[in-house]
Chain A
């Protein structure tokens, strides 16, 4: 059973389009995160949610809007995609009060 899953695994789209990436965890964790890994392999936090409430927002453009319908899901919607949004996006989760994060397999987004 996959602990943290993401869909799709690959996403290729044109500039200006709107797309969503979905994340689900079956670990019963309260906190979920989105990280971005760019072409130079730097991994950076974007958002975190604790039980559906936004906790961390790391100066990410307003075009990025996370949505957490319940504590097991944290989806990432991106409006007006730009070339610089091309990256691998990782979802992660952790239990309440913990720092051991479980990462998903990543979604490779390519904006043409």
Chain B
């Protein structure tokens, strides 16, 4: 079972920053936080991951709290194509691990 908790749904206005929270209070020291999203009728897509430092790539930023018990995925300028279900997943650092998906957050970008 998934060990992370996320709000079931969120709305965000187009062009604004979308901030998606995730709680992972039982995360262990060797586990990363990974974010994936699934756009309707497509396969999941990797977004970003981090261990304890904040991370940024061309898609998003990831802010991890100092105690590592929660994190926030930030889409800086949301577009309609960002409408999707976003999943926050704990993954150990051993590599080639299975992904245990929870129910995720359904993000709707509103024009």
Q: Which residues of A contact B (CB under 8 A)?
A: 4, 30-31, 33, 35, 41-45, 48, 50, 55-56, 58, 90, 92, 94, 96-106
Contact = CB atoms under 8 A, between A and B. Distances in A.
Contacts of A4: 43
B98 A45 contact: yes
Interface stretch (B19-27, B58-66, B75-83, B89-97): B89-97
Nearest to A33: B98
If over half of A's interface residues share one DSSP class (helix, strand or loop), that class is named, otherwise mixed; here it is strand
Contact of A90 (B34, B44, B85): B44
Contacts of B99: 35, 43, 45, 99, 101
If over half of B's interface residues share one DSSP class (helix, strand or loop), that class is named, otherwise mixed; here it is loop
Interface residues on B, range: 20 to 34
Contacts, number: 58
A50 to B, nearest CB: 6
B30 interface: no
Given A43-B101, A45-B100, A99 B95 contact: yes
Contacts of B91: 99
A58 B96 contact: no
B52 to A, nearest CB: 16
